[in-house]
Amino acid sequence: MDFVKRFSKNYGAVVGAIILGLIVLMAIAAPVLFPVDPWRTVAMPLLRPFEDAQYPLGTDMLGRDIAAGIAHGAKVSLLIGTVSTLVAVLIGVSVGAVAGFYGGIIDDLLMRFTEFFQIIPAFAMAVVLVAIFSPSITSITLAIAVVSWPGVARLVRAEFLSLREREFVQAAVVVGQSVPRIIMTQILPNAMSPIIVTASLMVATAILTESALSFLGLGDRNVMSWGFMIGAARTMLREAWWMSFFPGFAILLAVLAINLIGEGINDVMNPHLRGRKQ
Amino acid sequence: MMSFTLQRVMKAFVVILGVVILNFFLIKMAPGDPAVILAGEAGSGDPQFVERLRAEFGLDQPVLVQLWNYVSGVLRGDLGFSYRNQVPVLDLILDRLPATLLLTGAAFVFSLVTGILFGVLAARNRGNVLDSIITTLALIFYATPLFWIALMAVLLFSLNLGWVPPFDMETIGAGYTGWRRALDIAHHMILPVVTLGLFYTAIYTRLTRASMLEVMGLDFVKTARAKGVPKRRIIRRHVLRNAILPVFTFASMQAGQLVGGAILTETVFAWPGIGRLMFDALMQRDYPVLLGVFLVTAIVVVAINFIADLLYRFVDPRIAIA
């Protein structure tokens, strides 16, 4: 209850939560609101926005409904954003926990490995991975996870390095708890708050990366996505601005909402930083 | 200092070697047998011809031998052949690299200068309207997809207002030389540089503001204020000099990511750099070019990080050389 109360004091975060809530609702309700497949031609091509009340955001050059595309595209963005972040957090926590807990040569090796992935330009790497493993929801999700885990690993390692020396952890060692149990029940719960904050912001970055990939034509061809819509509208910019404007605005809103929520969570979870903004 | 530099050179070399090896395995995993594709390009599906090509390119040898051939080839500057263009990949890339370096370099300077400027302005006017405007804009641009802002900028400033040209790096066929040409390129650069830089401007603005506010709360600033040092001077001499270091650290780490962003910017603006080359290779499924660009991009990033590392220790001598 305390969490909700403090979170709701941050107006930006509340606005973000409302926007994100609406987007999630839109993604869930898309099959009901727009029962026709978003890839299907439903009306005259290149209808302007608000020209026909049935297609408020207009249609593209093949007569597909832009509003339907945006509603159906929400699902892909949210899904890839969340799942790829979960996978990245899983990899990052595993690597960081082992490195931070054991230290020494293991730590050294794992951190060199992490640094390596951090240096390689993330977006170029994602492009190459998706291109080689052919674009699909799975390959895009994994590619984004592969380029975004190093940040988590470094964070978790730093937390583990300091927590490992604390007395309650040493007590657990003396009592004879197994290493996995110490990591899972003693240290990890204490390192959770920075992980949650980072993860919430990573979802936003993942959505941006996914949209950029499908903009380049590296999206899953079986599902409608916001980035694909903008990519397809690129050559029609002069004739039909609305084809690229609305999907891009949808991305902006989703990413902005998640960033606001992430900052709100950060304020609640790191109380010592609170009040610095005022 | 000497041993430190040597150590960094070694580290950069190891990272590049790692990228080369990674690249080799990615090439191995790329769909399609290169020999079959090359034979197809030459207009022959004859199995004997394919076998001969395979032997010629060493594709019939054990993986480790192939790896060695590839690594030693890359060290000699051999990145393979483009399937489509039938020219060495390295030639294609070197031809395009200057345009990308120009674009990303300009965008880096633009984002750092504007970011620090807005960050200082916001921190100076904390809680004012100006601060709210700057922080809100930074929040919005931080959430805006790069390629979308580029398209919208073309729509507004090129197609509707006609202020700047929408595509290409210079006026094709104008035959400008010297200063006239430089001006023409600069004119073409405005939109790509600004749209690529804006996202990073937003990051640096937020960082600078936060860092300034933190330093402004420290005791030595209070002392300066108590002594009656003018506010301008406190901001410039006391706060900014201390607050700017974290921004530089972050900027040096992020510099490489700009090259990734350039893929998108160059695609939108038909900028003749390696990002555009990568996009074309992607469309044509020309994997040697795609992976060659990836490798060169990684090397550029390692080089930038290396230089930034050295500069950083020059800027802040307190950093222990370890």
Contact state of A215 with B144 under an 8 Å Cβ cutoff: no
- What whole-number distance in Å separates Cα of residue B294 and Cα of residue B278? 8
Q: Which of A128, A211, A212 has its CB closest to that of B291? A: A128
Is the pLDDT at A273 greater than 60? The verdict is no
- Exposed, middle or buried, A181 (CB in 10 Å: 0-12/13-18/19+)? exposed
Radius of gyration over alpha carbons of chain B, in Å? 24
Cα–Cα distance for residue pair A147/B69, rounded to 1 Å: 28
Strand partners of residue B81: B88
Q: What is the mean pLDDT of residues A170-191?
A: 90
Q: What is the mean pLDDT of residues A206-233?
A: 92
Q: Parse chain B into domains and list their residue ranges.
A: 13-75, 96-315
Question: Is the Cβ–Cβ distance between A195 and A252 less than 8 Å?
Answer: no
pTM exceeds 0.80 for this model: yes
The verdict on a CB contact (< 8 Å) between B147 and A120 is: no
Using the beta-carbon criterion (under 8 Å), do A244 and B279 form an inter-chain contact?
no
Domain B96-315 has CATH 2.40.50.140: no
In chain A, positions 76-115, which contact chain B (CB-CB < 8 Å)? Answer: 115
Residue A155 in any domain: the answer is yes
pLDDT band at A1 (very low <50, low <70, confident <90, very high): low
Q: B145 and A244 in contact by Cβ < 8 A?
A: no
Among A18-22, A122-126, A172-176, A240-244, top mean pLDDT goes to A18-22
Proportion of chain B above pLDDT 70, given as a percent: 93
Q: State the average pLDDT for chain A.
A: 88
Q: Is the pLDDT of residue A31 over 80?
A: yes
Residue A48 carries which DSSP code? Answer: P
Residue B239 contacts residue B174 (beta carbons within 8 Å)? no
Residues of chain B contacting residue A240, judged by C-beta atoms under 8 Å apart: none
CATH number at residue A240: 1.10.3720.10
Q: Mean pLDDT, chain B, as a whole number?
A: 85
Q: Which amino acid is at A220?
A: D
**Tokens coding B85:** 């263009």
Most confident of B85-89, B151-155, B288-292: B151-155
- Minimum-distance CB partner of A252 among B18, B127, B144: B144
Domain carrying residue A121: 10-277
* Mean pLDDT within A38-48: 79
Tell whether A1 is covered by a domain. Answer: no
The dihedrals phi and psi of B268, each to the nearest 5 degrees, come to: -65, -45
What band does A272 get if pLDDT is binned at 50, 70 and 90? low
CA A65/CA A41 separation, integer angstroms: 8
What is the spatial distance between Cα A159 and Cα B321, in angstroms, rounded to a whole number?
A: 25
Helix (H, G, I), strand (E, B) or coil at B126: coil
| A65 strand-pairing partners | A59
d(CA B83, CA B280) in angstroms, rounded, equals 12
When CB atoms are compared, the residue of B139, B151, B294 closest to A256 is: B139
Residues 244-263 of A with CB under 8 A from B: 244-245, 248, 251-252, 255-256, 259-260
**A149-163, A181-195, B301-315, range with the lowest pLDDT:** B301-315
- Indicate the residue of A125, A216, A244 with minimum beta-carbon distance to B267: A216
Q: Minimal CA–CA distance to A251: which of B192, B262, B199, B275? A: B199
**What's the farthest any 2 CA atoms get from each other in chain A?**
74
Q: Which of A122, A255, A256 sits opposite B260 (nearest CB)?
A: A122
pLDDT in tens, B26-65: 888 877 766 777 677 666 667 777 777 777 767 777 888 8
pLDDT confidence tier of residue A267, bands split at 50, 70 and 90: confident
Question: Closest approach of chain A CAs to the CA of B155, in angstroms?
Answer: 7
| Bridge partners for A59 per DSSP | A65
Find where tokens 């695609």 sit. Answer: B267
Chain A: closest CA distance from residue B146 (Å): 8
B1 band by pLDDT with thresholds 50, 70 and 90: low
The predicted-structure confidence for A121-138, as pLDDT tens digits, reads as follows 889 899 999 988 889 999
